[in-house]
Structure 1
Amino acid sequence: MEVIRLLVEDIVEPTRVDLYLSRELNDISRSYIQKLIKSGKVKVNGEVIESKKYKVNENDEIHITIPEPEKLKLEPENIPIDIVYEDDDVLVVNKPQGMVVHPAPGHYSKTLVNALLYHCNNLSSINGIIRPGIVHRIDKDTSGLLMIAKNDRAHNFLAKQLKEHSITRIYMAVVHGKIKEDSGTIDAPIGRHPVNRLKWTVTENNSKRAVTHFEVVKRYKNYTLVKLKLETGRTHQIRVHMSYIGYPLVGDPLYGIKKEKFNLKGQVLHAKKLGFIHPSTLEYIEFDSQLPTYFKEILRKIELIS
């Protein structure tokens, strides 16, 4: 059992609790949140709430009790996936925005893992039944390239490269504000947020070193298109680091601006380039992907208002 504590922040008017939580708990579905409310698992200021229509206010404290995960038998699902590369050891897929990588509360189907189980006869077992083949992950609302291990030997080989920070991972993002520097490095440790356990933050307490390199691609009136290279790979690293230096990602529901001009489903962040040493050939291979439609559409809208 897990208890999540949230302090309600940055709302201008009373907001329905299920809407607020579905926005803040980005990896948990709204229907699952409603189920938790109905079963008495959500408290506001110490009192159990009984309706999803209950409205929370600024500085309310919410406690959500997440039950132990169900014993699952994951089902293969015939979901189309964009396979960039495949052999007996490795798959590289281009994940769309909005797809969860592996099952989590409220997302036990329609994940990338469900799609992979349908497509592949074999996946590595190192990360257990819930995450077969998953060596690393990107957030639900981040699109782009991911490598998948088909066997345990390949998984260990790729995981070692991740640990040594030798894998090439380059992202494209659109951020609020006009970055003055042409390039720079953010070297700031990241750890759990002291209040909101779904957030990460720059902190010296119980943190790990995190390094992100950025380069300006294009400046707009109030926005910047930026290329980012990960040296380390902490949870939410790009989102936390860009917010920390004052340029949060456009559309980011956790670290960005709450009131956006655009009707977005999540942060405008795309894992564009991925490179690693192949576990069998020992040769370096690299893959690049085009910016997805949602990303290009945001750039088009920004161009019109700049």
Structure 2
Amino acid sequence: MKRETNNSVIYAVKEPGELLPFLLESMKNSSRNSVKSILTRGQVTINGEMIKQHNHLLEIGDKVEILSNQVAESISKIEGVTILHEDDDIIVINKNAGILSVASEREKEFTAYRQITEYVKRLNPKNRIFVVHRLDKATSGIMLFAKSEKVQQALQNTWSDTVKERMYTALVEGNIKKTEGTISSWLTENSSFKVYSSPVDNGGQHAITHYKKIQSNKNFSLLEVQLETGRKNQIRVHLEEIGHPVAGDKKYGSTGNPLRRLGLHATALSLIHPKTGKLVRYTADVPQAFLIKSK
């Protein structure tokens, strides 16, 4: 089954199989090399997620979309962010470290918001995007944008119920003795915008962070961190509190910068999709530089 839009051609998968044979069968007027090039350029999405692997397994009901050259060109102009998923309601990206989520007084141009705004406007000048949540400039990983104010408000108003998982990967100083643990405290921000932690309720915001050790050596530990609450600088403050600050985080106790960036990456986001009501999960690969060898 084939359906055409202004920016793409969409095929419905009727039987299981690998992606490349499916494309060759569906695009009979195109040569094998041409179809391979379309895959390599990132013009193929499956259920909204860009796929380049020839042997990706398709399931019945999958939606395979071939993006137009115009869309592919627009994607190629994006700097500092990678689109992980896009549909009629949301855009999910992987933001590089060093890129602001939104504009500040000092930086108004080179932000994730600006990049994705320009991307959608290249396809249609009337298109807009709306910020749902943010990442620190020094943190890389998953961010979510809405394509309408209605979807933005729906997500923000029900965020604590809608979001089922916010997982980060953190490279921290020292070898954490415990394989897993939970940190609970109240966070307050001072006039210089630094967040402090208190073990008792001092009128601040209650914050809960869960962590699990994945790798370690005598100098560093790699942690999988799950947020039960999403407070400003929560992970950074909590990990400093247990004596293992995030690598490169001078503001919160780090003494070195082995990665030449903050050792924090938003790895996974699971939520109830605002339109379909289904649970969806998006992931961004952990930067290779984070990985350490056990000793």
TM over 0.5: yes
**Equivalent in 232, 239, 242 of residue 239 of structure 2:** 242
Q: Distance in 2 between matches of 1:97 and 1:257?
A: 17
Residue-pair matches, total: 211
Partner amino acid for 1:149?
Answer: A
| Partners of 2:101 and 2:111 within 8 A in 1 | yes
Deviation at 1:197, TM superposition (A): 2.2
**Equivalent in 161, 166, 173 of residue 164 of structure 1:** 161
Deviation at 1:298, TM superposition (A): 4.7
Write out the 4+ residue segments of structure 1 that deviate beyond 4 Å after TM superposition: none
Q: Distance in 2 between matches of 1:102 and 1:261?
A: 25
* Secondary structure in 1 matching 2:110: coil
Q: Distance in 2 between matches of 1:117 and 1:172?
A: 28
Counterpart residue number, 2:271: 276
Compare 221-230 and 153-162 and name the one that shifted more: 153-162
Partner amino acid for 1:123?
Answer: R
* Secondary structure in 2 matching 1:191: strand
Q: Deviations over 1:26-66 (max 9, x none)?
A: xxxxxxxxxxxxxxxxxxxxxxxxxxxxxxxxxxxxxxxxx
Q: Deviations over 1:63-115 (max 9, x none)?
A: xxxxxxxxxxxxxxx53331000011000000011100100021111011111
Counterpart residue number, 2:183: 186
Distance 1:298 1:184, change over 3 A: closer
Deviation at 1:261, TM superposition (A): 5.7
* Secondary structure in 1 matching 2:206: coil
Q: Distance in 2 between matches of 1:102 and 1:249?
A: 23
Q: Map 1:222-261 onto structure 2 (within 5 A).
A: 222-258=219-255, 260=256
Q: Deviations over 1:103-160 (max 9, x none)?
A: 0021111011111111124335xxxxxxxx1111010010000110111221122113
| Partners of 1:179 and 1:216 within 8 A in 2 | yes
Q: Distance in 2 between matches of 1:183 and 1:109?
A: 40
Calculate the TM-score normalised by the size of structure 2.
Answer: 0.67
* Secondary structure in 2 matching 1:116: helix
Partner amino acid for 1:288?
Answer: T
Q: Map 1:85-124 onto structure 2 (within 5 A).
A: 85-121=85-121, 122-123=127-128
Deviation at 1:225, TM superposition (A): 0.6
Deviation at 1:165, TM superposition (A): 7.0
Q: Distance in 1 between matches of 2:238 and 2:193?
A: 16
Q: Distance in 2 between matches of 1:187 and 1:220?
A: 26
Deviation at 1:263, TM superposition (A): 5.9
Is 2:289 the partner of 1:297?
A: yes
Counterpart residue number, 1:262: 258
**Alpha carbon RMSD of aligned pairs, Å?**
1.9
Deviation at 1:248, TM superposition (A): 0.4
* Secondary structure in 2 matching 1:106: coil
| Partners of 1:190 and 1:210 within 8 A in 2 | yes
Q: Deviations over 1:145-200 (max 9, x none)?
A: 0110111221122113323373311000111121111111111111113xx52211
Calculate the TM-score normalised by the size of structure 1.
Answer: 0.65
Distance 1:154 1:172, change over 3 A: same
Distance 1:197 1:261, change over 3 A: closer
Is 2:283 the partner of 1:288?
A: yes
Compare 115-124 and 217-226 and name the one that shifted more: 115-124
Counterpart residue number, 1:56: none
Is 2:155 the partner of 1:150?
A: no
Larger radius of gyration: 2
Q: Distance in 2 between matches of 1:112 and 1:224?
A: 29
